Amino acid sequence: METIFYLFTFFAIIYELSKLHEPKKFQLKLEKMKKDKADGKSTSANENTFVFLVIGYVFWTFTGLLSSQWLIFLSTLLIGLLLTGYGKKTPIFLRRLDSLITVLLFLFMLINKFHLHIDLYQQLLLLF
């Protein structure tokens, strides 16, 4: 079951790489969906799928806080909130930086989980 959980990391990496490649497209899609919702228009099947995948990604990230790699998930959430915020218009380079850092953290998480086995919490405690 644990392996299946970490298999979802690949989907998260693909999502973040697509955001890294075209952050403006994601920004426009979110703005269009907000505008359609405010106008009372119905959403298309593609938009519903996009929303479902984003909700799944957020749920997976919060579930990751209960795993052994919780520091990486917490870092991902904090970096996302600090760099892009919620509902704010942020510059594209900050969105790209957020996606790049997230991809690197997720890749490190996979390598650490299956090969390195570094206890990040103990390493953090040794710093203080």
**What stretch of H or E contains 88?**
none
For 37-61, b/e burial (b = at least 16 CB within 10 A) is eeeeeeeeeeeeebeeeeeeeeeeb
DSSP 69: T
Instruction: Look at residue 86 in the predicted model and tell me its pLDDT.
Output: 66
> In angstroms, what is the C-alpha Rg of the chain?
16
- How far is the C-alpha of 13 from the C-alpha of 9, rounded, in Å? 6
Instruction: Look at residue 84 in the predicted model and tell me its pLDDT.
Output: 82
Of the two residues 110 and 87, the one the predictor is more confident about is 110
Domain encompassing residue 62: 2-127
Instruction: Look at residue 110 in the predicted model and tell me its pLDDT.
Output: 94
The tally of domains found in the chain comes to 1
Q: How confident is the model at residue 87 (pLDDT cuts 50, 70, 90)?
A: low
Per-residue pLDDT at 90 exceeds 90: no
pTM given for the model: 0.86
